[in-house]
Structure 1
Amino acid sequence: MTATYLCGFFSLSLLQMAALATPLLGGAIGISAATLGIMAGARSLLPLAYSIHIGALMDVVGVRRIILIFSVLCALLPPLYPLTSSIPILVALQLLLGLASAIVWMAAQTAIARVSNGDTRYTSRFSFITVIGTVLAPLLLGFVWQAGGIWGGYGLMGLWGLLLTCSALLFVPRSATAGRGLRLGDFIPSPAVYRRGCALLLEPVAAFIMACSFLRLAAFGIVESFYPVLLQQNGHSPVLIGALVALANLASSPAALVAGWWVRVCRSERNALVASLAILIVSVTVVPVLGSVWLLGLSMTCFGFALGVSLPLLLTMLSRGIVPQEQGIAAGLRGTINRLAAFVLPVAMGLVAQVSGVGGSFWVVGGALLALLALVALLAARSAKSDRSGPAW
């Protein structure tokens, strides 16, 4: 269990560092909003295509092998960024690092879903430890970037990937899920696997989880892409930007441990998830009108609470609603949905920003996400009236 917690600690924080580094890199080399949106979205393009396949592969070969392969890439790719200012090469690096960092985080989630057996205590601890990593990572990245620029920032990310690899080496899978050895053909996607993954969307609970995952990552995508750009335009330093992101993660850390209390307050897991997503979206949408650092800190605290309390809810509902033999492919489907959000959001926001400015794009995109959340909540409420089969519904 300890190795699983460590993999969660390093994997999600690395994914966040890679996201935060992109707008900082864009500011350092001077690129347009539209190009920055493409670079930010490129991180999610390969995971969008491969997450279901890799998720199914974990059911066959085991989680440990997948984490090891992609964690090595997470250690090797970041130091290549400072060697070039070519946009096509940087986009190619974004594609590869985006795939590797997304897969190791997805594998860590699959591991905890398998060992927790739907017990919120374990998923909450996993979320708590994972969030601690996301508190430290942006703080470190902000300070290191301020002191060492591009070389320092991406060097730190390479070191983080190395520590992730060491954590993966400690991972001892259960014999029932150890899996067979890898084969070359394993990396060729199978249409049948994608049909199995998409078939899960026919189940109301699974469809609700995937829709909420999309909205959660879309809201977080604003922070990962144009939030640093807006703050830089307003004269704030990389250190402050990193500190605000760390503050959000710090707030989400204890929030992850009160998921059970939040469910009791909202009277069901479904209501609790919808409420947390509403707070998440609103707290980042209003950022353009927050002039003081204190108000920015308050908005990030609310954002962090909603971010933290929503993750164990998603993981618990996923663990209860999907049989163990399908949890890998379910995680792959959720990873695909997440990457779809992470791809679409920055590209769309970049295009909107070209027309309405960076501040205006917050209102347009945030309003659209709130409208989608209202639609999801309405459809889920109607479906729940005729489906009483699970505790999450």
Structure 2
Amino acid sequence: MKGSELLRVIGAQVCLHATMAGMRLATPLLALQLGYSAAAVGVLIALFALTQVFLALPAGRFADRHGFKRPLWLSVIAASAGAGLVLVFPTFPMMCVAALLTGGATGATVIALQRHVGRSATNATQLKRVFSWLAIAPAVANFVGPFVAGLLIDHAGRAPADMLAFRVCFAVMAAFPIVCWLLARGAHEPPRTAPAAGAVPTRAWDLLREPMFRRLLFVNWLQSSSWDVHAFVLPVLGHDRGISASVIGSILGAFAIAAAAIRVLLPLVASRASERSVILSSTLVTAAVFAVYPLLDSAWTMGLCSVILGFALGAVQPMVMSMLHQITPHARHGEALGLRLMTINASSVAMPMLFGSIGALIGIAGVFWVVGGVVALGARATWGLKVSQ
């Protein structure tokens, strides 16, 4: 894949993902302003992830059958329609519809783009490089979307956060997906790989019968759970240590910056490090950081741990994506990506509830140690990862 085309694809993902990120900020603020409760807002935010759980597998199969551009075009329509509906009808039910549409569109776009980029790479080193660059897009989008939305809500109306300001915000969010299509429509699409003649119809769940795919999915789940437990438990731990909210936010921000920074550096070392070595190193570092975290009292030392953890976990996704494309059949890349996305999103919904229950029983420090111990045990599964030559 040419550098200019990869840059356009990254820009396309940033634009569509920014729509969801911006709507995830704007719609709760409008709902609260209209008098809805915090519980209602919680349901609204959950809807952004709900469609990604249920649509991931169908979206993956659709991408396998129809390639790159048709799924992207439908996602663009869904995302623009979602923001546009709230622009015209700024009511809570329509915000819920917009959350479902923009969330589902983002998940389908991620699958289509990852499949396209993976199929455009010519070797394992290029796979690691392109997925390292592509992994930067969500981080950029999660900054651009809320930043633009917040700026418009505060300054685009006759007064801060009036209805005109929200309408202008929703109009801009509806325009972002159109820019996505303009950037990506000229991308060269490799020929689709048809299933072998006479092949028995397959199901996505059949992929789980492949030992290496199961192992990779398990390892990815471990890393994703580590990411979730850090985001969920760190604020509680910081509060117990008497650390202010702004400092806790800065610690989490340092984690996000480190995770994005390592993805910028990964393409430079892609030819020197194997996927397994990067994932194994990340697993061991994550287990060590989780063992140390509850023993810390200083915001500075917690911030240092947060940065180290950001480097470790940020390096994993590009390596997982590279391996996934090498160990699954070309004609089923979309299904594999959909199964992975469904697993990760379902875990992100369930894990915070589980962490909260464990924390109530054994304390917040115990959550870190339990998760760290599970991650350490998972190093054995990581060691077994390999790509057939």
Would you say same fold, with TM above 0.5? yes
Whether 1:344 aligns to 2:350 is yes
Tell me by how many angstroms 1:369 deviates.
3.6
Distance 1:162 1:94, change over 3 A: same
Q: Is 1:299 the counterpart of 2:297 in the alignment? A: no
Query: Residues 126-176 of structure 1: CA distance to partner in whole angstroms, max 9, x if unpaired?
Result: 533642661574377369649839887997687456334312333235454
After superposition, residues 31-180 of structure 1 pair within 5 angstroms as: 31=38, 41-77=46-82, 80=86, 83=90, 94-121=99-126, 123-128=128-133, 130-131=135-136, 134-135=139-140, 137-138=142-143, 141=146, 145=150, 148=154, 159=172, 162-171=175-184, 172-174=186-188, 176-177=190-191
Report the CA distance between 1:222 and its aligned residue.
4.1
More helix by share: 1
**CA shift at 1:77, angstroms?**
3.5
- CA separation of 1:342/1:310 partners in 2, compared to 1, >3 Å: closer, same or farther? same
8 Å CA contact retained: 1:76, 1:158: no
Higher relative CO (Cα under 8 Å, sequence separation at least 6) belongs to 1
Say if 1:161 and 1:55 are closer, same or farther in 2 by CA, change over 3 A: farther
Would the aligned equivalents of 2:26 and 2:149 in 1 still touch at CA under 8 Å? Answer: no
Output aligned runs, 1:207-222, within 5 Å. 207-222=214-229
Give the match for residue 390 of structure 1.
388
Query: Cα distance, 1:325 vs. partner?
Result: 1.3
User: Residue 332 of structure 1: CA displacement?
Assistant: 1.2
| CA deviation profile, 1:19-53 (whole Å, cap 9, x unmatched) | 78899899997636xx8876655443332222111
In 2 relative to 1, CA 62–335 (structure 1 residues): closer, same or farther, beyond 3 Å?
same
Distance in 2, matches of 1:294 and 1:23, equals 32
Separation (CA, whole Å) in 2 of partners of 1:59 and 1:109: 12
1:316 maps to 2:322: yes
Partner in structure 1 of residue 262 of structure 2: 255
Distance in 2 of aligned mates of 1:120 and 1:329: 23
Which amino acid letter does the alignment assign opposite residue 51 of structure 2? L
Moved more, 328-337 or 17-26: 17-26
Distance 1:154 1:215 in 2: 41
Q: Which residue of 2 aligns with 1:196?
A: 203
Partner of 2:212: 205
Q: Does the CA-based 8 Å contact 2:16-2:176 persist in structure 1?
A: no
2:382 is aligned with 1:373 = no
* Residue 230 to residue 36, structure 1, CA distance change in 2 (3 Å): farther
Distance 1:6 1:138, change over 3 A: closer
**TM, length-normalised to structure 2:** 0.71
Q: Does the aligned pair in 2 maintain the 1:106–1:332 contact within 8 Å? A: yes
Backbone CA RMSD of aligned residues: 4.7
Query: Hey, what's the Cα distance between the residues in 2 that align with 1:8 and 1:373?
Result: 31
Identity %: 20
CA contact (8 A) 1:55 1:330 kept: yes
How far residue 66 of structure 1 moved from its aligned partner, in angstroms, is: 1.3
- Seen in structure 2, the aligned counterparts of structure 1 residues 42 and 121 have a Cα distance that, compared at 3 Å, is same
Give, in whole Å, the separation in 2 of the partners of 1:340 and 1:259.
30
Secondary structure at 2:315 match in 1: helix
On the 8 A contact 1:128/1:253 being kept in 2, the answer is: no
Displacement of 1:313 in angstroms is: 0.7
Number of corresponding residues? 363
Q: Which runs of 5+ in 1 are unaligned?
A: 180-191
Query: Which residue identity is paired with 2:372?
Result: L
Counterpart-to-counterpart distance in 2, 1:23 and 1:363: 32
Indicate the larger mover: 157-166 or 250-259: 157-166
**How far apart are the structure 2 equivalents of 1:224 and 1:91?**
25
Distance 1:323 1:230 in 2: 44
Q: Residue 236 in 1 paired to residue 245 in 2?
A: yes
- AA aligned to 1:255 is I
**1:239-271 deviation per Cα after TM superposition (whole angstroms, max 9, x unaligned):** 983x65554343233422337858967xx5334
Is the 1:277–1:310 contact (alpha carbons within 8 Å) kept by the matching residues of 2?
no
Gaps of 5+ in 2: 155-159, 194-199
CA contact (8 A) 1:43 1:94 kept: yes
The TM-score normalised by the length of structure 1 is 0.70
